[in-house]
Amino acid sequence: MKAEAKKDIRALSREALRDFFEGRGLQAFRGNQVYEWLWKKGAHSFEEMTNLSLDLREQLATEFTINHIEVDRMQRSADGTVKNAVRLHDGLVVESVLIPTENRTTACVSSQVGCSLDCKFCATAQLKRMRNLNPDEIYDQVMVIDRQSRLYYNRPLSNIVFMGMGEPLMNYPNMMKAIAKITSPEGLGMSPRRITVSTSGVPKMIRRMADEGPRFNLAVSLHSAIDRTRSSIMPFNETFPLADLREAIAYWYSQTGSRVTYEYVVWEGINDQPEDVAALLEFCRAAPCKVNLIEYNPIGDDGFRQAPEPALNAYIDALENAGITVTVRRSRGKDIDAACGQLANKS
């Protein structure tokens, strides 16, 4: 049998693994053991599964393969940020970032190879979407960063953000499966409260997700609350206009009781006027929310420039006066192109 014809064993559920052994007249609990090796222990080969007989390991190896990821290249930034170029089983590459702060380490993971959206300010958008990541490929990125966190910072990973390459809601089933594994005691056992899914805002997917009663956090990359402006920098806004997004966010809150975070960059000449601030304030009335003002990370063309301090302060003052929590996020890992919107497989 050719290697590529073998099935990836990690596509099998625990039940399916138990059935596999039972079907061959073997004990079903072997399925649990294999499952534990694959997910909890992150085994990359059947040889590692030392509580199975050699014979069993060989049988598994003739029928299945384990499509694990491989860190191709690791770069460490002066501020401690680690960027990994991660090679997938078919040779495609995505990037995953470890962001350490004083009391957290956050994994920023990718959900797609490239991206199908076309945000004008994002480096990933310049790569077309090549494919969705499988649940195990998302899970593996988290595993890799958890190991790096233990190695370099002597502590386990504390948070996960889906803010790497791709639009997680355009790879919805796989993202949900990965989160289920990450939060399951049979996987990494992380609390969903420590996970944030960031979307450019796909209304029908936000609704669908809300219906599943998730316990993770939602961030929406808003950047403008005026349709004309938003469509000019995020052209898919033509298809998913702000009114629909707003309703979907209100629905999310009604179903989950969880405040949405708006990610927002203030650019000179684009969204730095009083009318832009007023529109954001109005949009914030859709549901309880927080606003995260993020620093612009230049991606190599001069079309976009971070607005100077006074414009930023106008936003901060107005939001605070309206009782809305606002945070200002400074970029990390800029020197190695690991900051938001800079992930584009430069190597």
**With binding defined as CB under 6 A, does residue 200 bind ligand SAH?**
yes
Amino acid at 145: I
Does position 160 interact with ligand SAH (CB under 6 A)? The reply is no
Nearer to ligand SAH, 145 or 163 (CB): 163
Cα maximum dimension of the chain: 72
Q: Are 226 and 275 in contact (CB under 8 A)?
A: yes
Q: Determine, following the binding rule CB under 6 A, whether residue 141 of this chain makes contact with ligand SAH.
A: no
Q: Does 280 bind ligand SAH (CB under 6 A)?
A: no
Alpha-carbon gap, residue 305 to 35, rounded angstroms: 49
Nearer to ligand SAH, 8 or 118 (CB): 118
- Please, which residue, 167 or 276, has the CB nearer to ligand SAH? 167
Question: In whole angstroms, what is the distance from residue 110 CA to residue 84 CA?
Answer: 11
Residue type at position 290: K
In angstroms, the CA 260 to CA 178 distance is: 21
Enumerate residues 318-347 that contact ligand SAH by CB under 6 A: 340-341
Which of 22, 95, 122, 282 is flagged as catalytic? 95
For residue 288, the tally of other CB atoms under 10 A from its CB is 13
User: Which tokens sit at 102?
Assistant: 């004083």
Residue 99 to residue 159: CA distance in whole angstroms? 10
Q: What are phi and psi of 244, to 5 degrees?
A: -70, -40
Q: Which of 297, 334, 336, 337 binds ligand SAH (CB under 6 A)?
A: 297
The reply to whether 299 sits near ligand SAH by the rule CB under 6 A is yes
The token duo for 139 is 């899970």
Query: What 3-state class would DSSP assign to 168?
Result: helix
Q: DSSP state, 126?
A: G
122 is a site residue for ligand SAH (CB under 6 A): yes
340 among known catalytic residues: yes
Give 234 or 277: the residue with its C-beta nearer to ligand SAH: 234
Contact region with ligand SAH (CB under 6 A), list: 20-28, 79-87, 127-135, 292-300: 292-300
The interface mask with ligand SAH, positions 214-233, x = CB under 6 A, is -------x------------
Query: Which residues bind to ligand SAH, rule: CB under 6 A?
Result: 121-122, 163, 167, 198-200, 221, 263, 265, 294, 296-297, 299, 340-341
- What residues act catalytically? 95, 340
